[in-house]
Amino acid sequence: MIFAHLIIGTMPVNNYQFSWFWLAGSIIPDLDHLFVLYRHKIFSWNKIIDSMRFEDAHNIRYKTKYAHSILGAAVMTIPILFINITGAFYFFIAYLVHLILDWPDQDEKQYFYPFKHKIRGFLPIFSKSEIVFTIVLVGLLVLSYTRI
């Protein structure tokens, strides 16, 4: 669901308004991907896509237990509470929506870290189902802003 998070993040939330907190909560969990790419020295688009699609073959986990967990959502939300309580609420909910959108992906996730329970979805990364879902989301995004 690589582009789905960005699309969801740009959807209006508060009185049909755009929210930077919502956008940040929707995409920040994927910052761990950049760390993984740098750590494994993966810098070409073809290698990035191949390693994301076939994590097990490359022995790579893009969704780290720190960023892709409920604990990660809570820890990342705490500093925002000092800035804006409503914004922190939007950020936290968007973060959880991000985790829910990642749930069907067949890669391994540890949402309940520090507990060792691991979750695997059923959809391959960049599958036709994901592409159709992303197209539907784009349509919903357009509709959400044309209704205003």
Q: pLDDT tens-digit profile of 14-55?
A: 777 889 999 999 999 988 888 888 888 888 888 888 887 777
Q: What is the pLDDT of residues 82-130, one digit of tens each?
A: 999 999 999 999 999 999 998 888 888 889 999 989 988 888 777 788 8
**CB-side exposure of 84: number of CA atoms within 13 Å?**
11
Model confidence pLDDT, tens digit, residues 63-86 = 888 889 999 999 999 999 999 999
Q: In sequence order, what are the residues at sequence separation of 6 or more whose Cβ sits closer than 8 angstroms to the Cβ of residue 86?
A: 14, 21
Output the CA–CA distances (angstroms, integers) from residue 104 to 21, 45, 98, 148, in the order listed: 25, 23, 11, 32
Q: What is the pTM of this model?
A: 0.84
Question: How far is residue 97's CA from residue 8's CA, in Å, rounded to a whole number?
Answer: 9
User: DSSP for the chain?
Assistant: -TTHHHHHHTS--BTTB--HHHHHHHHGGGHHHHHHHHHTT--SHHHHHHHHHTHHHHT--SS-TTTSSHHHHHHHHHHHHTT-HHHHHHHHHHHHHHHHHHTTBSSEE-TTTTS---EE-SBPTT-HHHHHHHHHHHHHHHHHHH--
Question: Mean pLDDT: which of 2-6, 21-25, 143-147 is highest?
Answer: 21-25
pLDDT (0 to 100) of residue 147: 66
- Whether the per-residue pLDDT at 148 is higher than 60: the answer is no
